[in-house]
Structure 1
C-alpha cells in the first residue's frame, strides 16, 4: 500500500471552479443549511477561506478535485454559478491533500471548529454598521430577522468592561439584555457595580434598578390606553425593550405626559357617554371602587338580540371557548413553562371574555326619566380597557327605594278605613304557627329549594348595588352583613390586592348573570343547576366573613384560614405604601435585618425614612415575609358558659345560673353571639 503524502507544505493553490466536485470522503453527510446567506457573503466579499480537496480517480488528463472539507462553501459557489453571479472558471483557493488524509482533514475541520462568542459576533455587527451597512443589509447578508441584528447592536452598545465580562462568562446573556436597556454606559456600569450581592444581579433586580423612575408599558393601563405611538408622537421618550416580542415592551419616561394624554382620551369618551342622557358623568383612570360602593342603581331592561346579533354572540363565544381551551391546554402541559407564551394565551382569553361582556352591555336599556337622576363612571381596568358603569345614583341625591316603599305603605295604611279582623290576634298566631311548621318540614326535604330561598334573602344584601332600590318582605329571618366596604375603608391600598381583584372579578361575573329585579330572584334561582347555586352560595357566604380586628390576638377567622390552608404571602406583599410607610425606621431596619441580612439593615439605618422605605420594598417585595399579625394563626379558646351536671345542685327551682353568677359571668358575657370580631 502506498503511504499517503501531503501537499500541505505546498500551501494554498487557486483552481477553477469547474474542477471541483463533492467528495464521498466528506464526513458531514447531513444536508447543509444557510447556503443562501453564505452565498451572499461570498458574492459580496469573495471566498475568504480555502477548501480542502483531494484528487479524484479517473481517466481525465486533468483530474477532478473532490472537496472533503468545505461542503457549505462549495454549495454556495454552486448557487452563485446557477444565479450567473460567477463563471465556471472562477478561481477558488484550495489546499490539496492526499486521499488518505482526506477523511482526517474533513473530521478536523468539522469537529475542532469553535463557535464565535456572542459578544464578538455582536461587536462585529456593530463594525459593519460603522462601515455604513444598514440593519436591513446585514440581516439579508446573514439571513436573520432585522430584530436579531438590532438586538445584537444593543448588546454591542454595552460598555467595554461589561463586554469583557460577557466574553469571560462573568456576565450572562440575560443580565446583558437587561443592562442594555440603559443607553448610557455610565448607568450600565453603575447599576452593575452597585449590585454587590448575588440576588441583586438577578435580571429582575437589575431591571428594577434601571427602570426605577420609568413606567413599564406592559404593566401600565394608561400606556395601553394611549399607545406607544401616540405617546411618542406627543414628544414622549420610550426606552424600548428589543428583547421582548411584546409590541408594548418598553419604558415610558414622562409620567406627566402619559397621564395627560390618557385623561384627554377618557374625557373624550365621557362626552360621548354623556350624550346618552345621563345627569352626570365621571372619568377615572382606575376602577373607583369606593365611589361606586356609595351609589345606588336604577333599574334596567334587557332587549332580545336579533338573529344577526345571536350569530355574532355565537362567534364571540366560540372565540372565547377556543382561547380558554388553548390556555387550559398550556396549563396542563408538562415541562418548563414558557412565561411569554402563557401570558399571551392568558391575555387572549381575557380579551375574548371582555368582548363577550361588551356585547352583552349593548342590550341593556334604562328609562329616560330615571336617567336624568343617575349617571355613569368611565374608567380603565387593569388591562387599559375602557369600562362604563351606568345607572348609578348618588345616595345623598335621592332617598332609597326601601324608604319610599315604607312611606307609601304607611300613607296607605293611614288612609284605609279600619276594619274588624276576621280572626283574633291569638288565633292568627296559632294558625300561622302551624302553617310555618308545615312549610319548614316541606322545605327541609327540598335542599335545592332551601338553598335558593336562603340565597334569595342573602343576594340583595351582598349585591346591594344591584338591588339597593328594591324592597321585599322575606319569610326567612336572618341577619346578613357584607364586609366589602369595610375592607376598602380600612386599607386604602386594597384596590391593588390580588385577592380583592379576584373577588371583584367574581362579583362582576355574578352581577351580570343575576336578574335585574329582586322579585325575579327566586324563580331564577330555581331554574339554575347545582353548580351555579353552590358557587353563588359560596360567594355570598364568603362576602359575609369578617376578619378585621383592632389588635394582634387570636381570631375566629383563623379557624377558616387554617382549614383552607391559606397562604397569606400569596396575597400580601411588604410594600412601601402597604407597610413600611406606616412603621418607624428602626422597625424597617429590624425587618430588613430579619429577612435580608444584618449588612442590609445597617445600610437602611443610615438612610432617611423615605429612602429606607423604598429600599426595603425593593429588597423584600418577593421575600415572602409576613408581619406578626399575619403570622398569628391562633384561634380563640372555646369557652362554655352556664349549666353543667356537676353544678346541678347549685341551681334553684327557677333555673338561675347561680354558679355562673358566682364566677362573675353575666348573661351578656355568656352569649356566644356577642364575641368581638366574630367572622360571621
Structure 2
C-alpha cells in the first residue's frame, strides 16, 4: 500500500510553548515522507531543480521538520511540516536515480499540536539573503581557487549566473556600499559592471545627476568609447579579423542580446574597415569607373541629389546563391513577424521578449534591403565619365553607382568644368538671382494658364517621389513649398513683372472660393467637380516651380523643359529697366545690349557718357525692343 492514501494526524496534546517543545532527531526513509496537510505553504514552490543539484553536491544541510502520521492501513508515515522544497528536491533525485527510494533523511520530530505554528515560524522567519552577500560569498570561494563552474555545480545555478555575480563583486567599494544600503539598484550595479575600471565606475556615477542614473544612461556613459558587435562595421570586419589584428574585445556578461561583445579599439576597427573600402575602390576603378569615393558612414540615396546626378541603375535578376540567401532571410523575417503577432495577441507575453523580436526583425529587414539594393547591372557604358560611392551599409559594403558631380564635365545642365577652364560669368550672382526670379514668376504665371503642362509637371514630380526618394512629412507623402519667399528675397522689383499680378489674382480667387474653416476644405474639394481639384493641383504645381539660378545651374537648367512647353517668352513679362538690369551691369555690357537691340550707330554716343547717363540713355533706347539678356532667353 502506498502512502498516498488518506492520512490522519495523531493527536498528542500539550500546552508547552513552541520554542520550548521537545524535538527528537531521527532518520526517516524517504519513501515514508510526505507533505503534511498542515504545512502552511500552499503556493507551488519554485527552484526545485536547482535545490536538488545543491543537495546532490553538498548533501542535506538542514533537517526536515516532521510529525507522525498514519495512513488508512495504519502504516507509519511522516508529514513534512517545514522543508517542503527540500522534500520535493529529494524526491526529484530519487526519480532521476541519484538516490534510493528508502534513502534515510535526517528529520526532527515535533508534536502534532505545534505543527502549524512551527511551519509558519520557519516560513516567515527566513529572511532572504541580500544579493551582495551572495556576491561576496561567491567571490571568497573563487579566491580560494574554486572555479565558476564548480561554484555553479555546488549551488545548482548556471555558470553564467556565477560569472555575473563575480563580476559585480568587483564593483568599487563605495558603490557596493550604496548597493548594500539599498541606495543603488541591482540594474544600476550591473550597468556599472560594464567596465572593470573602478575609477570609471565612480566617475560616471558621480557625474550623473540622480534623475539621470537609469541603468541605460549609466551604461551609455561607460560604453561611449566602445563599439557593440551589432554595429554595421562588424558586418565588414569580423570579430575574428579584428582580434587577429591585435584588437581587444570585452564581453558584457549582463547582455541578453547578440551584441554582448564590444570592440574596445574603434580606431583599429575603422582602419580595417577603411582597408576593405579601399580594396573595393581599387576593384571598381579597375572595372573602368571614372572615380570612386569611400565613406565609413551610411550614405543615403536621398542625400545624393544636392551634389550628384545619378543615372538610374538597371535592375538585374539575382543569382541562384543570392536568391537562396534572400529566401532564407525572408523566411526568417516572416517567422519573426509571426512570433511578434502571437506575442501581441497574448496578454501574458513578456514585453522584453517582444522588444528583442522586434529589434531582430528590424535589423533583418535592413539587411534584406541592403541585399536587394545590390541587384543592379553595373555594366554601364558611361562608367568612364561617372563614379561610385562605396560606403558601409547595414548589409556590409554597399555602393551607389552611376554618379556625376553636378557641374562636372558631361553635365548637360552646366557649362563649368569644361576643357576651356573657368570663364568669367556674364552676370553677377546677385543679378542672376534677380533675373531668374523674374523668370520664375513668368513661368508660374504661364503654367497657371496651361493646365495640361502644370498637371504633367505634377505627375512627373509625383513619379519621382514614388519611384525614387519620396517625401516624408505629410500623410499623403507629398511636400509642396511655395517659391514666393525665395523670389521676394532675391528681387525687390517683382511687382513690375507682368506675371506677378496674374499670380496674385489666381490666389485671391481661391481665397474667396474656399471655406473660411480649413477643416472643411477636404469635404469642399470632394463635393466639387473634378475640375476644381485639377485646377488647384495645377496652381500649386505652378507656384512651387522655380527656375531660380543656383551655383551649379541645376534649377534653372531643369526648368528649360517647362519653359519650352508653355512657350514662355520673357519679353512678355520683363523689360531691361535701370532697376531690373541696367544699373547692375558694367557700362561696356550696357553698350553691347543697346547695339544688339538697335544698332552700333544708336549705341555710339554712349562711349563718352558717364555710367548713370548711359543707364538712362539705354533704358530709353531699349524700351519696346523686347531685348533679353542671354540668361532669360529660351
- Output the TM-score relative to the length of structure 1: 0.54
Cα distance between partner residues in 2 of 1:190 and 1:3 = 65
Cα distance between partner residues in 2 of 1:51 and 1:189 = 46
Residue number in structure 2 paired with 1:372: 384
Instruction: Give secondary structure in 1 for the equivalent of 2:80.
Output: strand
2:188 is aligned with 1:188: no
Q: How far has the Cα of 1:47 moved from its partner?
A: 0.9
Contact 2:291–2:386 under 8 Å retained in 1 = yes
Residue number in structure 2 paired with 1:559: none
2:410 is aligned with 1:399: yes
Cα distance between partner residues in 2 of 1:63 and 1:343 = 54
Instruction: Give secondary structure in 2 for the equivalent of 1:296.
Output: strand
Cα distance between partner residues in 2 of 1:388 and 1:215 = 27
Residue number in structure 1 paired with 2:59: 46
Residue number in structure 1 paired with 2:112: 99
Alignment of 1:228-307 (within 5 A): 228-274=239-285, 276-287=287-298, 293-298=306-311, 300-303=313-316
> Among 72, 83, 92, which residue is 1:70 paired with?
83
Alpha-carbon distance change, 163 to 227 in structure 1, aligned in 2, over 3 angstroms: same
Considering only aligned residues, what root-mean-square deviation do their CA atoms show, in Å? 4.8
| Structure 1 runs not aligned, ≥5 long | 408-435, 444-448, 464-506, 515-530, 551-562, 565-680
Residue number in structure 2 paired with 1:146: 159
Cα distance between partner residues in 2 of 1:392 and 1:203 = 45
Q: How far has the Cα of 1:542 moved from its partner?
A: 5.7
Contact 1:316–1:356 under 8 Å retained in 2 = no
2:184 is aligned with 1:171: yes
Residue number in structure 2 paired with 1:201: 213
Instruction: Give secondary structure in 2 for the equivalent of 1:64.
Output: strand
Alignment of 1:341-352 (within 5 A): 341-342=354-355, 344-352=357-365
Residue number in structure 2 paired with 1:3: 13
2:133 is aligned with 1:129: no
Cα distance between partner residues in 1 of 2:332 and 2:228 = 27
Alignment of 1:583-594 (within 5 A): none
Alpha-carbon distance change, 183 to 543 in structure 1, aligned in 2, over 3 angstroms: farther
Cα distance between partner residues in 2 of 1:510 and 1:330 = 35
Instruction: Give secondary structure in 2 for the equivalent of 1:345.
Output: helix
Cα distance between partner residues in 1 of 2:481 and 2:338 = 29
Contact 1:37–1:140 under 8 Å retained in 2 = no
Alpha-carbon distance change, 132 to 16 in structure 1, aligned in 2, over 3 angstroms: farther
Alpha-carbon distance change, 126 to 310 in structure 1, aligned in 2, over 3 angstroms: closer
Residue number in structure 2 paired with 1:511: 468
Contact 2:250–2:263 under 8 Å retained in 1 = yes
Instruction: Give secondary structure in 2 for the equivalent of 1:40.
Output: helix
Q: How far has the Cα of 1:36 moved from its partner?
A: 2.8
How many residue pairs were aligned?
447
| Structure 2 runs not aligned, ≥5 long | 1-10, 419-445, 490-517, 520-634
Cα distance between partner residues in 2 of 1:547 and 1:259 = 42
Deviations 1:152-178 (A, max 9, x none): 222222234332321221111122112
Structure whose alpha-carbon radius of gyration is higher? 2
Cα distance between partner residues in 2 of 1:306 and 1:210 = 44
Residue number in structure 2 paired with 1:156: 169
Q: How far has the Cα of 1:364 moved from its partner?
A: 3.5
Cα distance between partner residues in 1 of 2:487 and 2:43 = 70
Instruction: Give secondary structure in 2 for the equivalent of 1:390.
Output: strand
Contact 2:135–2:168 under 8 Å retained in 1 = yes
Instruction: Give secondary structure in 2 for the equivalent of 1:56.
Output: strand
Contact 1:287–1:380 under 8 Å retained in 2 = yes
Deviations 1:160-219 (A, max 9, x none): 433232122111112211221221334333443455x4235343443354345x124268
Alpha-carbon distance change, 255 to 440 in structure 1, aligned in 2, over 3 angstroms: closer
Alpha-carbon distance change, 437 to 42 in structure 1, aligned in 2, over 3 angstroms: closer
- Output the TM-score relative to the length of structure 2: 0.58
> Among 378, 381, 387, which residue is 2:398 paired with?
387
Cα distance between partner residues in 2 of 1:170 and 1:96 = 43
Q: How far has the Cα of 1:81 moved from its partner?
A: 3.8
Residue number in structure 1 paired with 2:29: 17
Q: How far has the Cα of 1:116 moved from its partner?
A: 1.9
Instruction: Give secondary structure in 2 for the equivalent of 1:236.
Output: coil
Contact 1:298–1:391 under 8 Å retained in 2 = yes
Cα distance between partner residues in 1 of 2:143 and 2:382 = 70
Cα distance between partner residues in 1 of 2:488 and 2:336 = 42
Instruction: Give secondary structure in 2 for the equivalent of 1:36.
Output: helix
Q: How far has the Cα of 1:93 moved from its partner?
A: 2.7
Alpha-carbon distance change, 348 to 68 in structure 1, aligned in 2, over 3 angstroms: same
Alpha-carbon distance change, 511 to 261 in structure 1, aligned in 2, over 3 angstroms: same
Q: How far has the Cα of 1:263 moved from its partner?
A: 1.1
Instruction: Give secondary structure in 1 for the equivalent of 2:118.
Output: helix
Alpha-carbon distance change, 103 to 149 in structure 1, aligned in 2, over 3 angstroms: same
Residue number in structure 2 paired with 1:410: none
Alignment of 1:416-495 (within 5 A): 451=455, 453-456=457-460, 458=461
Contact 2:317–2:375 under 8 Å retained in 1 = no
Residue number in structure 2 paired with 1:488: none
Contact 1:292–1:392 under 8 Å retained in 2 = no
Cα distance between partner residues in 1 of 2:484 and 2:149 = 62
Deviations 1:458-493 (A, max 9, x none): 479xx7xxxxxxxxxxxxxxxxxxxxxxxxxxxxxx
Q: How far has the Cα of 1:326 moved from its partner?
A: 7.0
Instruction: Give secondary structure in 1 for the equivalent of 2:468.
Output: helix
Contact 1:192–1:201 under 8 Å retained in 2 = yes
